[in-house]
Structure 1
């Protein structure tokens, strides 16, 4: 019979924060294993040194490298993978011999812990139990004695190794946050907090719960003296208390300006290089950005910028919110993917203006962007070189019967067809129905371009024919271009449509 593996959390540093269950298992263990840096000193072992039996076998797992260079042919990650494989093999021999193996983990075994990599390699081969531990986040929160989240508030754990713009964007979304993995990353973390407007609320905690604990405002920290075992905490707002205070406060009527202005901007289909200089300049001037969450994520954060994210099917509500900000004198931009005027937010904004006469004084300015059809066409060659039509296959805002009517008209008119919103999780048959309609008007060998995630990670471009198009491979990340009778393939595989028609 094999032994049993335990991943045991020993807490953030204070021996009195070790749980009773963890203490019992450590005392009874046949083998106690723990990690250390290249110097061979284990913080986890130090925490529970008085609990380890003198009869227990101790396995010190020393990392071959923590930072810096390595001679391993596959670099740092290759060296680390080999280390975990070798460590798992060492512990596996004890387990095969029927011994009980306890692997110590600072904090919690499955929260940013070295144990988790051993767990991946051993838990499916041997009986395994996890003993949770007090995390460093909990210890740091106790150190600053400030609630980090309440009620419906969100709490996010972030890594200091993230790029500054991405970290700032996530911090700007509000809610409580903990930022780990500091040390050399601290200066960038502080800059991200500044850009997100949250520097004044942020606290720094070093070696929480130990005799060397330090805590002070992030703005007062010497960036050159920050150790790895430190954390930044940003308490979240007390949403209910804020709401109650607002309810008790009699606010003056908002000042409504007569020259309010709302920008509606297109961010292009993906990469930053496809955002126009005009849009970049506009976003640098506004105080509020409003949009669908994933699109809003693409707007760089900076000090003073307030972000207002919402879901994908509330376009008019989103537009009304932005218009209301603008009529109160705020500098506001609504963001949209691709071009805001092509199945984007521009139409929703005008719809909201018509529906509410109080928005009539707001000037709406639409700034163009690169469309998905342009991006896919450019990747393929020039399939939009002749007359073409643009159609959305979604029937969320129009009946499918109308979509079919328009497909027949486009087919009869021999227009190239660019298709947006071809399919979703709930719309799985519409591409197949489009294909059948177009085959009534087009030859089976008509070229079809399928662009998936164009300009983004996972980009894929497929050149096929109308007859060979597989509807099951199409989802919302795709844009389709169905050629006309004048669409051709080049010898190199490009797709183009003649500007003239015989």
Structure 2
């Protein structure tokens, strides 16, 4: 059947949020790769996968996930990870790569697939979607992501708080990822744009250390790196006010 690399989204951390298709893909692969930092501690993806896969089939591969300044070190880690996964594909034929959230949304799988594809042009690459942190936070924190014709903007705050502030000036819901180290700047951006009310942030969703609070309670100092913020669109017109002319109100 040839070699096949599948990126499997395993959600934000709660094992119950892995889809049936995701579980089947993990169990069908001969080897399941999980990304770890060079410090060696277990990450969310590995902890989630262990609920469904025999640990003997799990292969831990180092990514420089915490590297933001040394590009050469980061690139070297990606190259080494790609070589390791390529070797597993040659040996086993099928490999699944578990990634938190969704493999097509700010995922390390993107870089891995690119590297492996260059090493093994004949490999088939596929993805299985996963539930994202913004969906989980919306469910746990009671924040509606979109209504009617509202746009939804997703911003990684690693791009800078100015990018977030520009998005907050727009009309729709804004979701911010990876803002833990810039929590004070995020709070300032919400205040400057009048978007603090109704906004909610969360970290460690579905895990023992889960924290979900209104954005007005953003703590002084850094939060966990993988914190998520939802600033809902302003909704002052009552039920269905955001439905445009000719827009059907069905569950689309």
Q: What TM-score bracket applies, with the shorter chain setting the length?
A: 0.7 to 0.9
**1:378 equivalent among 135, 139, 161:** 139
The CA deviation at 1:445 is: 4.7
SS at match of 1:333: strand
TM-score of the superposition, structure 2-length normalised? 0.73
User: TM-score, with normalisation over the residues of structure 1?
Assistant: 0.39
Q: Alpha carbons of 1:438 and 1:307: their partners in 2 closer, same or farther (altered >3 Å)?
A: same
Give matches, 1:201-280, under 5 Å: 259-280=2-23
Is the contact made by 1:380 and 1:461 (CA closer than 8 Å) also made in structure 2?
A: yes
CA gap 1:471/1:361 in 2 versus in 1, 3 angstroms: farther
How far 1:371 sits from its partner (Å)? 0.8
What number of residue pairs does the alignment pair up? Answer: 221
Q: Does 1:437 align with 2:189?
A: yes
The one of 112, 129, 137 equivalent to 1:368 is: 129
Aligned to 1:418: 175
Correspondence 1:71-150 to 2 at 5 A: none
Q: For 2:114 and 2:214, how far apart are their aligned partners in 1?
A: 38
Q: Would you say the 8 A contact 1:377–1:383 is kept in 2? A: yes
Q: Which protein, 1 or 2, shows the higher relative CO under an 8 Å CA cutoff with sep ≥ 6?
A: 2
Match status 1:289 vs 2:39: no
Do residues 302 (structure 1) and 54 (structure 2) align?
Answer: yes
Alpha-carbon deviation of 1:326? 2.1
CA distance in 1, matches of 2:183, 2:240: 22
Kindly state the Cα deviation for residue 288 of structure 1 after the two structures are TM-superposed. Answer: 1.2
Q: Output the CA distance in 2 between the equivalents of 1:366 and 1:377.
A: 24
Secondary structure in structure 1 of the residue aligned to 2:158 = coil
- Alignment of structure 1 residues 305-384 onto 2, 5 Å: 305-313=57-65, 314-315=77-78, 317-353=80-116, 356=118, 358-384=119-145
Q: Counterpart in 2 of 1:446?
A: 197
Cα–Cα, structure 1 residues 456 and 347, in superposed 2: closer, same or farther, change >3 Å? same
Equivalent residues in 2 for 1:158-177, closer than 5 Å: none
- Rate the CA distance shift 1:418–1:497 in 2: closer, same or farther, 3 A: farther
Q: Give distance in 1, aligned partners of 2:58 and 2:207.
A: 26
The equivalent residue for 1:460 is 211
- In 1, the alpha carbon distance for the partners of 2:92 and 2:3 equals 6
Q: 1:394 is paired with a residue of what secondary structure?
A: helix
Give 3-state SS (helix, strand or coil) of 2:93's partner.
coil
Alpha-carbon distance in 2 for matches of 1:264, 1:497:
38
Aligned partners of 2:32, 2:108: CA distance in 1, in Å? 13
**Kept after mapping to 1: 8 A contact 2:164/2:176:** no
Tell me how large the CA RMSD over aligned residues is.
3.1
Alpha-carbon distance in 2 for matches of 1:379, 1:270: 13
| Distance in 1 (alpha carbons) for counterparts of 2:240 and 2:213 | 17
Which stretches in structure 2 are left out of the alignment for 5+ residues? Answer: 37-42, 66-76, 246-252
CA displacement at 1:336 relative to structure 2: 0.6
Deviation at 1:498, TM superposition (A): 6.9
Larger-gyration structure (1/2): 1
State how far apart, in whole Å, the 1-side matches of 2:197 and 2:240 are. 11
Q: Aligned partners of 1:381, 1:266: CA distance in 2, in Å?
A: 23
Runs of at least 5 residues in structure 1 that lack an aligned partner in the other structure: 1-257, 489-495
Cα offset, 1:304, TM superposition: 6.0
1:303 to 1:321, Cα distance in 2 relative to 1, 3 A: closer
Q: Distance in 2 between matches of 1:259 and 1:318?
A: 21
Q: Secondary structure at the match of 1:447?
A: coil
